[in-house]
Amino acid sequence: MKKVWGLLLFLIPFWLQAEIYSLRVDGPIDTILEEYVVNSFAKIKKAGNASLVIIEMDTPGGYDTSMRAIIKAMMNAKIPCAVYVSPQGARAASAGFFIMMAADIAAMAPGTNTGAAHPVSVTGSDIEKNMKEKVTNDAAAYIKTLAKNRQRNAEMAEKAVRESQSYTAEECLKGQLIDVIVPNRSELIKQCDGKTITLHDGRAITLNMQNQKIIHLTMSDRQKFLRTITNPSLAYFLLIFGLIGLYIEFTHPGVVIPGILGGISLLLAFLAFQVLPINYVGLFLILLSIGFFIAEIKVQGFGMLGIGGIISFILGSMILVNSPIPEMRPAMSIILTFAVCFGFIFLFLTMKVFQAMKRRKETGREGLMGEYGIAKTDIDNQSGKVFVHGEWWNAVADGLIPAGSRVQVESINNLKLKVKKSGG
């Protein structure tokens, strides 16, 4: 039995061959990206064979809570971690800067930048002065702790928080904020080979990157789906499309398909709004604008309701997702496209309303005025019969009109027409 256990202990290193794990962080750091990174570290830790985890990053920043959860997962995994800002032209701003400072190895590609980590309200609103000072001091203390733990330039790191300083890759390397500038991941792995690093728990590890397999951990299908619909522009489109679909269904009962598609789109939009920083005043303004458009169609608002709807729609759309990070707001081109479309629809419907108001009525009492008919009997100022508008009517006239003459209706009184002889 001892021989068997000895053989197993001898073979374990071969079964658990060390591997390099790679993650990709793109776009705003939100709860979905947090779930992806935290779950990935849990899987890597459970596998027990990771020699290095590389997080390739290109982010404008994001939520403080998600950022701290990711950093906590990195620090408690007890696995060497490298954060690499790539590809060229990428950035690690705001929350991304904190994550890079927490890494055991910080690397950047040429032409990238980082920093601009001053804390702001995720809704874009002003923070009360005392609270803003507290938040800034807390963030500054946090970044200094991360920088000092990794023997990095704490002064430059603090300036990125307090003064929103942003640095190029070359400035970061010169100022000892990062460890290396490399053009690609393969070169980063070569640079890491043989490097001795001290983990957050105090253990010193010498990295051996020779002939190690790279395993790419991607988002699950569920995470990819949620990440897609939480794109602010798509969430905004789903909201408007859903409202239009439900309006068509309510005004044309039985069409079914617009109602189904509208309901699904609206629910997906509300699912996205649970992740995005929604300003509910903006949402109510959009709903109010739809109400104005409906009212303009149903009643004669002479354009005022439609104009109010367009103004309400544009204002609501602009503040619906009011984040200081542009990537977390709907694209202005999408907002303007919908506003122009609604504007054209409103103008078209208003034009049709005015045309209908100017058109002579063709039914009821007003519809008979000016109509032409044929005298079926002689008509005088006492009695007579005419055929007008497909119907027989009693008629009178100021003078005698012989039977068979063409007549025109002048007025109607108590279901009796007053007519005159027509020369046509």
Q: Where are the beta strands (DSSP E) in 27-79?
A: 50-58
* DSSP conformation class of 350: H
Whether 143 contacts 158, CB under 8 Å = yes
Q: What values do phi and psi take at 319, rounded to 5? A: -110, 5
Amino acid identity, residue 158? Answer: E
* DSSP conformation class of 303: T
CA distances from 339 to 99, 232, 334, 358 (A): 39, 17, 9, 29
Angle (nearest 5°) at CA 96 between 94 and 99: 120
Whole-number Å distance between alpha carbons of 134 and 148: 21
134 is catalytic: yes
Tokens (6 digits) for 339:
């506003």
Helix (H) or strand (E) holding 36: helix 31-47
Distance from the Cα of residue 375 to its chain's centroid: 70
Tokens (6 digits) for 337:
């496209």
**How many residues are recorded in the chain?**
424
Whether 179 contacts 106, CB under 8 Å = yes
**Active-site residue, selected from the candidate residues 43, 134, 148, 224:** 134
298 is catalytic: no
> What is the 3-state composition of the chain as percent helix, strand, coil, each rounded to the nearest 5?
50, 20, 30
Give which of 230, 215, 265 is closest to 244, Cα–Cα.
265
Q: Angle, to 10 degrees, between the axis of helix 304-320 and the axis of helix 232-251?
A: 150
**Active-site residue, selected from the candidate residues 22, 86, 94, 312:** 94
Amino acid identity, residue 371? Answer: E
Strands 196-198 and 113-115: unpaired
Give the sheet arrangement for strand 105-108, strand by strand: 180-181, 105-108, 81-85, 50-58, 19-26, 213-216
Helix (H) or strand (E) holding 396: strand 391-396
CA distances from 109 to 89, 197, 327 (A): 8, 21, 22
Whether 280 contacts 319, CB under 8 Å = no
Q: Which residues are catalytic?
A: 94, 134
